[in-house]
Structure 1
Amino acid sequence: MVHKKIASALIAILMIFTLTGTMFAAPVEYGEELQNMPQNTPTVSFTDLPNTHWAYKYIAEMVNKKVLEGYPDHKFRPDNTISRAEFATIIVKAAGLQAKKVNYSSFSDVKVTDWYSPWIETAKDYLTGYRAANGEYIYNPTAPALREDITVAIVKLKGYDVARLANRSIIEAMFKDYEGISESAKDYVAIAVENGLVSGYPDETFRPQNSITRAEAAALLWRAFMYGNDNKGVGGGDQSTITPTIPTPPVTQPGQTAPSQPQQPSQAAKFSVDTLVGGMGAGIVDGPVRQAKISSVKGMTLDGDGNIFFLDSADNKNKVRKFNKSNGTVETITIDRSFDWDYRKDGKAVHYDYTKLIPKKLVYNQASNKVYLLGMNDASELIYEIYPTVQMAVYNLNSYRSIYKSYNFFQFLNDKTLVYAETESDRGESFVYQGETGSEATRMPRATIILE
């Protein structure tokens, strides 16, 4: 979860409304999302925005709060369609975040040199990207921001608990185009409607795939901060502002002995725990961490780039999965024909088919910055390099072909040499093997311990 704060100025507005009256949270009537404008508003001067424009007050409020801004030529261009990159910029400002230049991009279609790169990287927890058919993670920065995109971003911005609060029956009954709302957005739209953030149109449609104008964006943002019974940042607020209470040392009176027991931490101390992935229920589902699912983790390793590789067990079958730090997604590494291997020794040829490979252990080699998988195939150990490439690394053909094996440890000693230990439970024996990449591992001799 990502803990952020709403800009202090916007919080002040919300406090005023809290003190002067209770804001309703019931679903609004069709068409109301662009109504109920501010009563008192500051003045703004844009050559293309007369004070008679239907969105003038919304725009003025948001400009005054530095969430929206005009152009250097003194125009606001209220009827321009807003792009995903532009809305990312707006969301960052609305959340009170600080966009910073980065030397990487989470999206294949966003260059670090693009003007919108810092804004998109900062806003990606609110306005996420897409997984393309070829597997690339893209953002579509110049494409129009869709109504469902913006609704999802606003609900995230306000910090609603989607898993707990969503009631899809509301929007299923209200909107004729319910099926046109993306599956991943339906819970967010339901919460937004129920809390008065959006309403849809008088013809009983939501138009989720429609683009919106800058003027409409101003109106929706104003409603986001004025309505709803939950006004906080993504993830539940800013934990950085919480100051733990430091216990006061006990005062020792003259003639007394200071107590020897250490003071317990104050109950007022605050702690937070972040869930990287897995909060959406059990399963094997790839995608952004807010949508991805994991089943049962049987082992993991972390590489030098911050990627997490783990074995995920579903239906008693281990799958090799990866949390990709660069784009914040979970992906499954497919065990396919690239894991086939043909071995020849003493004139005999053996084929190891990928369909029989059972992943058992993962390890990271810090010296080479590579990740390896130990798998069992037809009772033999095969060790593959799986990152950054997939290829055979070390093999071991045991004379005793036990299928009842467990692996106690697996570690690299340098950039090429590894050791691992196996236990054959049906014989009650354990063995340690050592090998180098590109060769066969051999069993290390037993050590003799003499007790005197």
Structure 2
Amino acid sequence: MLRRKFLLSALCIMMFFCGFSSAHAEETKLKDVSEDHWAKDTIQWAIKEKIVDGYPDNNFKPEQVVGQKEYIALLIRTFKPSDFSLDDPNNTGDWSYPYTHFAFSYEWYVIVPFHQPEGYDIGLARGQAAKIIADATGKNFNQQDSIRYLLDNGFVEGKVDNSLDGFKEGDPLTRAEALTIIKRLHSKMDKLQKSPEKTVKYEPKSEK
């Protein structure tokens, strides 16, 4: 009986360490994302879910400003809407076309830069990204009202504090911050929404 208990205990210990090793083996080692990086778990989640990849040099560039096309693609890859398709006969080969086309069809806020070289991706400020997120929840507010709405309903957190000023709408949005916002959104809703055609005024729950 004692021998049997010993063998069972040994087996449990082996299974624990094997499971622990397997979990760590699944992590993608990135040269510029340290073990104590504030967004490490979110970045690993996004890679595991095939939402984003690192760069060929095994860097992730978490502090690089996220492009609008990239941001919209991350949002769509996270939610995997049933009416989204990568196949479109009108696509001339631009990787971002299916994503931006979907955003336009959902009436989301999209900046169209004119007279830019092919493949150009405009960098997003935090306020612009908030407007896209608010649209994706089925609302149509202006940029500042979008921020107030998202903060009030816990869809996002501010950069300094949870006030309009603390959100820092003019600051550039980094790749790590973009994933953090999108992951938080995904934890609160499971389906992307179309934005109404008409912009309305948001009535905040509290003055901030």
- Which TM-score applies when normalising by structure 2? 0.64
Residue in structure 1 matched with residue 129 of structure 2 by the alignment: 150
State the distance in 2 between where 1:80 and 1:130 align.
19
TM-aligned CA distance change 1:192 to 1:292, over 3 Å: closer
Native 8 Å contact 1:67 1:94 kept in 2: yes
State the distance in 2 between where 1:126 and 1:68 align.
24
Match status 1:95 vs 2:60? no
Give how far 1:126 is off.
Answer: 6.6
Counterpart amino acid of residue 50 in structure 1: S
TM-aligned CA distance change 1:217 to 1:224, over 3 Å: same
**Counterparts of 1:370-389 in structure 2 under 5 Å?**
none
State the distance in 2 between where 1:199 and 1:49 align.
22
Give how far 1:74 is off.
Answer: 2.3
Residue in structure 2 matched with residue 53 of structure 1 by the alignment: 37
Q: Which residue of the other structure, out of 90, 109, 114, is the alignment partner of 2:94? A: 114
State the distance in 2 between where 1:99 and 1:62 align.
20
Residue in structure 1 matched with residue 179 of structure 2 by the alignment: 218
**Counterparts of 1:401-440 in structure 2 under 5 Å?**
none
Say what the alpha-carbon RMSD is for the aligned residues.
Answer: 3.5
TM-aligned CA distance change 1:80 to 1:235, over 3 Å: closer
TM-aligned CA distance change 1:92 to 1:234, over 3 Å: closer
State the distance in 1 between where 2:43 and 2:94 align.
27
Residue in structure 1 matched with residue 15 of structure 2 by the alignment: none
State the distance in 2 between where 1:187 and 1:233 align.
22
Native 8 Å contact 2:131 2:142 kept in 1: no
Native 8 Å contact 2:126 2:173 kept in 1: yes
Counterpart amino acid of residue 68 in structure 1: V
Native 8 Å contact 1:89 1:116 kept in 2: yes
Counterpart amino acid of residue 171 in structure 2: N
Q: Which residue of the other structure, out of 204, 208, 212, is the alignment partner of 2:169? A: 208
TM-aligned CA distance change 1:72 to 1:202, over 3 Å: closer
Aligned-pair identity (%): 19
Residue in structure 1 matched with residue 110 of structure 2 by the alignment: 129
Q: Which runs of 5+ in 1 are unaligned?
A: 1-39, 106-111, 164-182, 237-276, 280-289, 294-452
Give how far 1:152 is off.
Answer: 2.6
Deviations for 1:334-374, whole angstroms, at most 9, x for unmatched residues?
xxxxxxxxxxxxxxxxxxxxxxxxxxxxxxxxxxxxxxxxx
Deviations for 1:362-416, whole angstroms, at most 9, x for unmatched residues?
xxxxxxxxxxxxxxxxxxxxxxxxxxxxxxxxxxxxxxxxxxxxxxxxxxxxxxx
Match status 1:193 vs 2:177? no
**Counterparts of 1:286-305 in structure 2 under 5 Å?**
290-291=197-198
Residue in structure 2 matched with residue 380 of structure 1 by the alignment: none
Residue in structure 1 matched with residue 4 of structure 2 by the alignment: none
Give how far 1:131 is off.
Answer: 7.0
Secondary structure in 2 aligned to 1:205?
A: helix
Residue in structure 1 matched with residue 204 of structure 2 by the alignment: none
**Between Structure 1 and Structure 2, whose CA radius of gyration is higher?**
1
Aligned residues: 168
Give how far 1:59 is off.
Answer: 0.8
Residue in structure 2 matched with residue 233 of structure 1 by the alignment: 191
TM-aligned CA distance change 1:235 to 1:120, over 3 Å: closer
TM-aligned CA distance change 1:50 to 1:64, over 3 Å: same
Secondary structure in 2 aligned to 1:235?
A: coil
Secondary structure in 1 aligned to 2:128?
A: helix
Secondary structure in 1 aligned to 2:45?
A: helix
Give how far 1:155 is off.
Answer: 3.1
Give how far 1:103 is off.
Answer: 4.7
Secondary structure in 1 aligned to 2:167?
A: coil
Q: Which runs of 5+ in 2 are unaligned?
A: 1-22, 201-208
**Counterparts of 1:81-92 in structure 2 under 5 Å?**
81-92=65-76
Higher helix proportion (structure 1 or 2): 2
**Counterparts of 1:389-408 in structure 2 under 5 Å?**
none
TM-aligned CA distance change 1:66 to 1:103, over 3 Å: same
Higher strand proportion (structure 1 or 2): 1
Native 8 Å contact 2:142 2:199 kept in 1: no
Counterpart amino acid of residue 166 in structure 2: T
State the distance in 2 between where 1:60 and 1:66 align.
10
